[in-house]
Structure 1
Amino acid sequence: MASDAERALTLEDGADPAEVNAFLNKGFGEALGLEFTELTADWVRAQWKVTPALYQPWGIMHGGVHCAVIESVASIAASLWLGDRGHVVGVNNNTDFLRASREGVLHAEATPIHRGRTQQLWVVTITDDQDRLTARGQVRLQNITETSALGNK
């Protein structure tokens, strides 16, 4: 029988998207307002609305939001691919900011560059409603098979 986490990480087989998003957006994802729209082991898509709560002092969305979204979407994608073999943790995130955003909905899409035994590398692109590239990031993730060691000294 599939665990709650395994059931929550798929929009296939009639899963309720609201339930999947509620599971994935605990904590920081909820603060960002991420909505996952497609989830597979080969790509993940999500979107969020730019709001003043995400602005930096000069009235445009903070670059850290792009970094956080890129890390989140890549991590979910890598987790789906790794499946029940373990968990993933991000070990490097490089994000390029290409276009400022003040409003609208932004869309993130993660696709794999490399998926290996110990590490994965994913690229995430962020576009606006006019399909203009606003940011691009690359995240390297470590595959952890001994999950009990995570967060311990």
Structure 2
Amino acid sequence: MTKDELLKLSKKICKNTLMETLEIEFTELGEDYLIAKMPVNSRVHQPDGVLHGGASVALAESVGSMASFVFMDREKFFVRGIEISANHLKSIKEGYVFAKATFIHKGRTTQLMEIRITDEKSNLISIVKLTTIALPKEKK
């Protein structure tokens, strides 16, 4: 899948979803990774004005699930996140955060990813581990 195909697909499937609400944009696709970015502004702040951990986790699950989706047979399977854990290491008030999902395990049924969330200066903001499952689509 090319970057242009990814962008076209993501715009189609993310319309009217949390990804659209949070303005998550998929920006780079490699052989075994996917990168997305999200703006940090008052829409994703916690009350004291820094990035909400829940918004970071939503970004991580979005990019990780999309990575699983992109790297499998989308005609036969759909993806669901089944476990996620996050460690928030640094706060950020504004700008963009970037989430890079890379595979630790790419199995036929389950996939395990590490998602590193960084700021524009490559400072590590959060590190997330996500497990997804590929479920077969019902035959029509």
Q: TM-score, normalised by structure 1?
A: 0.82
User: Quick one: distance in 2 between partners of 1:20 and 1:120?
Assistant: 21
Query: What letter is aligned with 2:47?
Result: P
- Partner-residue secondary structure (3-state), 1:82: coil
Q: Percent identity?
A: 31
- Partner-residue secondary structure (3-state), 2:82: strand
Deviation at 1:99, TM superposition (A): 0.5
Query: What letter is aligned with 1:33?
Result: E
User: What is the correspondence of 1:79-90 to structure 2 with a 5 Å cutoff?
Assistant: 79-84=69-74, 85-90=76-81
Identify unmatched segments of 5+ residues in structure 1.
1-9
Cα distance 1:16–1:90, how it changes in 2: closer, same or farther (>3 A)?
closer
| Alignment pair present for 1:23 and 2:16 | no
Q: 1:123 aligns with which of 90, 94, 114?
A: 114
User: Quick one: distance in 2 between partners of 1:131 and 1:55?
Assistant: 20
RMSD of aligned Cα (Å): 1.9
Deviation at 1:143, TM superposition (A): 1.1
Identify unmatched segments of 5+ residues in structure 2.
none
Match of 2:24 in 1: 34
Q: TM-score, normalised by structure 2?
A: 0.89
- Equivalent pair of 2:38/2:59 in contact (CA under 8 Å): no
| Alignment pair present for 1:58 and 2:38 | no
| Alignment pair present for 1:92 and 2:83 | yes
Match of 2:36 in 1: 46
Q: 1:133 aligns with which of 124, 127, 138?
A: 124
User: Quick one: distance in 1 between partners of 2:45 and 2:24?
Assistant: 16
Cα distance 1:42–1:136, how it changes in 2: closer, same or farther (>3 A)?
same
Query: What letter is aligned with 2:123?
Result: R
Cα deviation per residue 1:73-116 (whole Å; 9 max; x = unaligned)?
00000011122331110000101101111001111100000011
Match of 1:5 in 2: none
Between 80-89 and 125-134, the greater mean CA deviation after superposition = 80-89
Higher relative helix content: 1
Number of residues paired by the alignment? 137
Deviation at 1:42, TM superposition (A): 1.4
